[in-house]
Amino acid sequence: NPRIQSIYLESFPIYKACFSVDGEQVIATGTHHKMFFVYDMMSGSIIPIQRVRGIEERFLKDFEVSPDGSFMLLTGTSGYLHLLSMKTKELISTMKVNGRCTASAFTPDSSKIYSYSKEGEVFIWDVRSRKCLHRFEDEGSLEGKCMALSKNNQYVACGSASGVVNLYTTDACLKETRPKPVKAIMNLVTSATCVTFNPTTEILAVASRETDEAVKLV
């Protein structure tokens, strides 16, 4: 494929880059920076977001963009989650999980946020009120690593440091504090670092970055 364009962010090793939902912006965070960049594809300009007022973090690395395009969720340290307006990149609210947050995901309708703690607990937040609606324990998880929600809002997948990926139904996650997984996927022998559903919710990809060729399609 022909390359359309490339941009260079000087002395800024990129940790994560992601398109905005309308496809007009690219957001990029660094490995050791509290600032992040927004690349406007329409104007071709690179906008540095030096500091978000109200956020006191040494580094900002991991983030999620809501499916409706209105929010950006930054994962801070010590369990803090910062909800920003995608339009203005200003802080709306901060939420906090017990322990350290390792992964977050918006529901397909952008009304809720699931956040997974290092201790293996999942917290479910209401985006409008920013209140914790429910929390549940990921079965057998000693250290939470990654999570994904299916596009049809039917399943929740939680991957842990042991390499086990638990698959739950969303209904069970919202009602029970210790839901039973529909399926426990044991194919990875090293830590599960990435889980993602395909758009039709028929395939789940699980992967580990700790060893070569550790990608499984379920």
- Tell me the pLDDT tens digit for each residue of 131-143: 999 999 999 998 9
C-alpha to C-alpha distance for 175 and 178, rounded to whole angstroms = 9
- CA-CA-CA-CA dihedral for 66, 64, 175, 178, to nearest 10: 170
Percent with pLDDT over 70 in the chain: 100
151-192 pLDDT, tens digit per residue, is 999 999 999 999 999 999 999 999 999 999 999 999 999 999
Find the helix or strand (DSSP H, E) in which 83 lies. strand 80-85
pTM for the model stands at 0.92
**Per-residue confidence (pLDDT) for residue 5, from 0 to 100:** 86
Residues in the chain: 218
HSE-CB of 65 using CA atoms within 13 angstroms:
21
72-120 pLDDT, tens digit per residue, is 999 998 899 999 999 999 999 999 999 999 999 999 999 999 999 999 9
Look over the chain and give the mean of its residue pLDDT values, rounded to a whole number.
Answer: 95
**Per-residue confidence (pLDDT) for residue 12, from 0 to 100:** 95
* 32 Cβ neighbours under 8 A, 6+ residues apart: 13, 59
> Is-contact 80 54, C-beta < 8 A?
no
